[in-house]
Amino acid sequence: MKVLYIDLNRCIYCRACEVACEREHGGVSRIFVTLLDWTQPVPVSCRHCEKHPCVEACPVDAIEVTDEGAVLIHTNECISCGLCAIACPFGVIELDRVGKIADKCDLCAHRLAEGKQPACVLTCPTRCLQYGELDDVMAQARDKPGLTFVSAVGDTGTVVTMPERPARDTAEATTGSD
């Protein structure tokens, strides 16, 4: 089972993943990096949730859950109601500005079909984003500082390692402590 792994110890907020995704998907990125508290960037893309609000919300069943557990939008059937975008708790579904069609991260299905990894994964300068077998990912994650959360079901999912970092007061001159 292959998962997308995000190690939040490693993100440097460079947005390479966004620019790569945009290039691979006709000018619209499906991954979004947000900066929290001025110092913690968080890349967010579709989590292929086990309980999938977007699927429940869609009035025309345009969102499919595959046998592998991936959540896929069939854009041909989209009626632009926007309910899936509202329902998604991670905010990763967007309607394109002109055609109002909903779309989201599809783990670069077109690249996976050719045996290539997702673009965001290959481009990430720091290996913050990885794609691999769940067992390999978890073996790696165990040695990393921080807590690791797994949201994976069937054959797809996302694993995130939350960083363990000292609370930092950014307002005053920081001089560290040992």
Segment lying near other proteins (by CB under 8 A), choices 32-40, 66-74, 95-103, 150-158: 32-40
Question: DSSP letters along 104-163, please?
Answer: ---TTHHHHTTT---HHHHH-TTS-EEEEEHHHHHHHHHTSSSEEEEEEETTEEEEEEEP
In whole angstroms, what is the distance from residue 139 CA to residue 132 CA? 11
Contacting range for other proteins; rule: CB under 8 A; set: 60-68, 73-81, 130-138, 168-176? 168-176
Sign of CA dihedral 20, 85, 73, 2: positive
Does 144 bind other proteins (CB under 8 A)? Our answer is yes
Which residue has tokens 């929290």?
36
Rounded alpha-carbon distances, angstroms, from residue 40 to 90, 96, 107, 174? 17, 28, 24, 17
Binding of residue 115 to other proteins (CB under 8 A): no
Residue with token string 């001159």? 173
Helix (H, G, I), strand (E, B) or coil at 34: strand
Q: Give the residue, chosen from 1, 15, 65, 82, that forms a contact with other proteins under the rule CB under 8 A.
A: 15
Task: Tell me if 143 contacts other proteins by CB under 8 A.
Answer: yes
Least separation, in Å, of the C-beta of 92 and other proteins?
Answer: 18
Is 127 a binding residue for other proteins by CB under 8 A? The answer is yes
CB of 136 to other proteins, least distance (A): 16
Based on the shown chain and the rule CB under 8 A, indicate whether residue 170 belongs to the binding site for other proteins: yes
Does position 122 bind other proteins by CB under 8 A? yes
Binding of other proteins by 25 (CB under 8 A): no
Residues that bind other proteins (CB under 8 A): 9-10, 12-16, 18-20, 22-24, 27, 38-41, 110, 114, 116, 119, 122-127, 143-145, 170-171, 173-176, 178
